[in-house]
Structure 1
Amino acid sequence: MAQKKASEVDAFLARPDFAFSLVVFYGPDTGLVAERAGKLAQAFGVDPSDPFAAVTLAADDLEKDIGRLYDEAKTLSLLGGKRLVRVRGAGAGRALCDAVGELAAEHLPDTLIIVEAGDLKKNAGLRLNVERGRHGMALPCYQDEGRALDQMIDEELTAAGLTMDRDARDALRARLGADRIASRGEVKKLCLYALGTPTVTEADVVAIVGDVSADALEEAIDAAAAGAVKRLPHLIDRLTTAGTATFQLHQALLRYFQQLQALREGVERRGEPVARAVERRRPHFRRRAALEAALNAWTLEAIDARLQTIEADILASRKDAHLALAITHRTLIDTAVTAAQLRARRS
């Protein structure tokens, strides 16, 4: 079986074996998956901007036309040399799963196929098929923790010619970890801010680095309230994998609907336009669209019912800690499904 443990992936990327012509990166952190896939693509030596040598395909599109993947994988570069094929957004699609099984079984000279997938369980078809293939490799990508997170920080500090004291590192680590690309972006921003000084201090971290985990929590709550059912499972997994406590998710959802209730009262009882109510709340620009969608969808009656359900679920999760994660997951998904149904009725 061609697979690596999560702790072995960085070593593989440092010295990649291109005898494996099809590589699947998978995990709950899409940023980490994309970053590692990018490293392998770079090591392969094909210019990603060269349309004759590299192509990027969407997994959803391939489910409608899987022949495109076979064509791209077995087409020789127009000008000769290597060929890179990247597939993004892979999941449980049957057509792609079967194609990966076939392509991983044969060696494709001078061709590398990189598939970026979400979190795949051991019995997931895509993962099983690539692991069984003689020329396929499955590489798990999990959350930045411990040494891996420190390594990423050290890479950026070294590139910028900076050092960091212990207090600053502890403060920085506490604000990172929800998403690899977002976390690296925050460290790059910090290095740019501290450029010209010998050491990055805790004050620098507090001044410039946002709390990535908090951003991810807000994104999950927005998705639940606005009815983004398809996006929500990944967001929940990303948070819980990063160590976010279930009570934080429940409490954040409860506070959101309490605030939504106050806004909706202005809309229903005072005739205030939704856009004006949202403007009065002054949300961050990234959250504005989701808040407008939620405020348009949820009626006061529906909000009251949802608040009662959330409160009941919070009590149930506290009574049985072993089921807390399952209860919280159900609360968020049920909220998103209800929101999607309400939006459909009003459209």
Structure 2
Amino acid sequence: MVKIDSRSVGKVLGAPDNWRFVLLHGDDSGLIREHAAALTRQSAGSLDDPFRVSLLARDDHSRFEEEATALSLDGGRRVVWVREATDGMAAAVTSVLDSPANSLIILEAGALPARGKLRKLAETRPDSASIGCYPEEGRALEASVRRMLEERHVRISSEALAWLAGRLGADRAGVRNEVEKLALYAGENGELHLDDLMLCIGDSGSASVDDAVFLAMEGDKAGADLALERALSEGANPVAVARVLLSHIGRLRRVKAELERGQSRMDAMKTLRPPVFFKKQQSFERALDAWSLPALLDLAKRTQAFEFACKQTGSMDVLLCRRHLAAIAGRAALSRRR
């Protein structure tokens, strides 16, 4: 069985000659596309060589066997890159793999069942590999961001990296776009700090998530709805919304606890690292007025339950996200009116 874990993906992408068939499947379409491009470039030297690369969209699937068994006119190994693959292609792929043809077959698929035909085929043949592509989070996401920046000879502080990872969307393409923008801002051999990130990503989808969370917590339901829809349209994931929300709740709880110990609001706010972005400071203080410490603890528990529900197979995560933020905004607005 050749089921590739995340630590071994680089070895597969760097040695396409070891494989005849690579299946890329999962929920992260950006990561799937990135891996497919890397394999194609490594094997054929470019993505657009008409003699060695055949790119098949859904409407071209009927040409798969013809393309996969054709000979390269320049003698190099051909790559047949198929997008939107389904289990219906399993028989055709098996037929090609059982033939003398030596093309590299790359299939992009979405989420496939563990016992599906394509996954079974890729995971049982020694000349094939199955790579699951799922949104990264936590330390894995931080490691990927740091690696992308290092490829561009850019350093990032630990504080800035943690802040960025908590606000990036789930899709790899969106993550890479943000990293490329930051690398361009820093320049070769540059270094990124928290202030740089706050300046650079102010118009990103991640900022839309921040806006949705801050506005909901202060009781602005209309503003939160608008910001959430923008974030979702730009590729944000409900789980990422939950993570930003939990971080915001935690910071509010810390300041609330300091206030109850007798600290002034100014001094309590100064305990936060990183500090509240100056453009968000008024919103943060309005949320402080709307939520008590016990209410914040209860909200943290409900948000954790919301995140868990989003991760369940078949869950209506976007609907759950909209409802959760709407309930938060309604509760905050009622509290502030009182």
In the superposition, relative to structure 1, how do residues 17 and 84 fare at CA in structure 2: closer, same or farther (>3 Å)? closer
Aligned-residue offset at 1:119? 1.5
The equivalent residue for 1:313 is none
- Number of residue pairs aligned between Structure 1 and Structure 2: 243
1:175–1:211 CA contact under 8 A, matched in 2: no
User: Equivalents in 2 of 1:23, 1:52: separation in Å?
Assistant: 20
Q: Which amino acid aligns with 1:10?
A: G
Q: CA 1:207–1:222 in 2, change beyond 3 Å: closer, same or farther? A: closer
- Contact kept, 8 Å, 2:32 with 2:108, in 1: the verdict is yes
CA 1:199–1:243 in structure 2 vs 1: closer, same or farther (change >3 Å)? closer
Per the alignment, do residues 196 and 106 of structure 1 end up closer, same or farther by CA in structure 2, a change over 3 Å counting? closer
Counterpart residue type for residue 102 of structure 1? S
Query: Deviation string for 1:141-184 (max 9, x for gaps)?
Result: 12223444233322333243332222211221122241111101
1:26/1:33 contact within 8 Å kept: yes
SS of match in other structure, 2:19:
coil
Q: Equivalent of 1:82, from 56, 77, 80?
A: 77
Q: Bigger CA drift: 152-161 or 114-123?
A: 152-161
- Structure 2: tracts of 5 or more residues without a match: 210-227, 246-301, 323-338
CA contact (8 A) 2:170 2:240 kept: no
Encode CA deviations 1:110-158: one digit per residue, 9 max, x unaligned.
x211111112120222212332344322111122234442333223332
2:169, 2:240 within 8 Å by CA — same for their partners in 1? no
User: How does 1:16-165 map onto structure 2 within 5 Å?
Assistant: 16=15, 18-62=17-61, 66=62, 68-92=63-87, 94=88, 96-106=89-99, 108-109=101-102, 111-165=103-157
Q: Structure 1 residue 208: deviation in Å?
A: 1.1
Can you list the C-alpha shifts for 1:228-259, whole angstroms capped at 9, x where unaligned? xxxxxxx7xx835x55449x8xxxxxxxxxxx
Q: Distance in 2 between matches of 1:155 and 1:34?
A: 18
2:276 aligns to what?
A: none
In 1, the alpha carbon distance for the partners of 2:26 and 2:163 equals 26
Q: Secondary structure at the match of 2:183?
A: helix
The superposition leaves residues 8-30 of structure 1 with CA deviations (integer Å, 9 ceiling, x where unpaired) of: 2233324x252321111111000
Note if contact 1:2-1:138 (Cα within 8 Å) is conserved in structure 2: yes
SS of 1:41's equivalent in the other structure is: helix
The match for 2:160 is 168
CA offset digits 1:303-332 (Å, max 9, x no partner): xxxxxxxxxxxxxx99x9799447961884
What is the TM-score when the length of structure 1 is the normalising length?
0.59
State whether residues 107 and 135 of structure 1, in contact with CA within 8 Å, keep that contact through their aligned partners in structure 2.
no
Superposition TM-score, scaled by structure 2 size: 0.61
Query: Where do residues 1-347 of structure 1 align in structure 2 (5 Å cutoff)?
Result: 1-14=1-14, 16=15, 18-62=17-61, 66=62, 68-92=63-87, 94=88, 96-106=89-99, 108-109=101-102, 111-195=103-187, 198-209=190-201, 210-212=203-205, 218=229, 239=237, 242-245=239-242, 324-325=309-310, 329=316, 332=319
The verdict on how the C-alpha distance between 1:103 and 1:245 changes in structure 2, with shifts beyond 3 A counting, is farther
Structure 1 CA distance, aligned partners of 2:188 and 2:147? 18
Q: 1:77 to 1:17 in 2, by over 3 A?
A: closer
Query: Please, which moves more after superposition, 33-42 or 5-14?
Result: 5-14
CA RMSD, 1 decimal: 3.5
Task: Report the Cα distance in structure 1 between the residues aligned to 2:318 and 2:158, rounded to whole angstroms.
Answer: 39
Cα 1:13–1:182 change in 2 (3 A) is same
Distance 1:199 1:169, change over 3 A: same
Q: Is the 8 A contact 2:309 2:315 kept in 1?
A: yes
- Answer yes or no: is the 8 Å Cα contact 1:98–1:129 preserved in 2: no
Q: 1:133 to 1:187 in 2, by over 3 A?
A: same
1:46–1:83: 8 Å Cα contact kept in structure 2? no
CA drift of 1:31 comes to 0.3
Whether the 8 Å contact between 1:25 and 1:140 is mirrored in structure 2 is yes
Inter-partner Cα distance in structure 2 for 1:166 and 1:323: 27
| CA distance, structure 2, for counterparts of residue 204 and residue 330 of structure 1 | 32
Looking at structure 2, the residues matched to 115 and 98 of structure 1 have their Cα atoms a distance apart, in angstroms, of 14
Q: Check conservation: 2:166, 2:240, Cα contact below 8 A.
A: no
Decide whether aligned partners of structure 1 residues 73 and 201 sit closer, same or farther in structure 2, where only a CA change above 3 A counts: same
